[in-house]
Homo-oligomer: A and B are copies of this chain.
């Protein structure tokens, strides 16, 4: 049901690439997408612009690469034995991780219109999280905690979706309590609801 194989491995980045991909999100956070310049990244890493362009053909590509690199599978599949605990662990991981990458996600969203591959990257990013939830739910079904029929394929991503959303909107980052409430008052009631 879930497809954990969609989680791509980290790119084979050399030490030099890591410098660029580390400096990029930092500068992005400092100055915003428009304020970020390739010259800045080059200066920051004592590199030449050509060295960066050899690797990524445009600024957007660099930002996307930084985004993908930063979001690669940093969320692990929890196996606590209960659905609620699994969801809480997962939600907390997502929350923590998203809080770091909110500026990059914001920047990346802007570029979606022009960069089709970026759309794919973003989809993959969320597909990862959905896949993890799928695995968690599958395990719960196997344990008999919930009914497989209660799982709506399309709505799996309410948990990561809403948490990320809260990070994107300014001054509303989710707290740990938000995660708990979301699991207890929204996700679990949905999964354990009486059939409609």
Contacts and interface: CB of A to CB of B under 8 A. Distances in A.
Contacts of A114: 31-32, 34-35
A166 B114 CA distance: 18
A155 B189 CA distance: 14
B111 A169 contact: no
Contact of A112 (B106, B152, B161): B106
A119 B154 contact: no
A160 to B, nearest CB: 9
A126 B169 contact: yes
Q: For the complex, would chain A's binding face be called helix, strand, loop or mixed by DSSP majority? A: helix
Interface residues of A, number: 47
Interface in A151-180: 152, 154-155, 158, 161-162, 164-166, 168-172, 177-178
A110 B33 contact: yes
Contact of A171 (B33, B34, B119, B162): B119
Given A60-B34, A166-B161, A185-B196, A172 B123 contact: yes
Interface in A173-193: 177-178, 181-182, 184-186, 189-190, 193
A161 B165 contact: yes
A114 B34 CA distance: 9
Interface of A: 29, 31-35, 60, 103, 106-107, 109-114, 118-119, 122-123, 126, 150, 152, 154-155, 158, 161-162, 164-166, 168-172, 177-178, 181-182, 184-186, 189-190, 193, 196
Per CB-CB distance, the 3 closest pairs between chain A and chain B, nearest first, are A119-B170, A32-B113, A189-B193
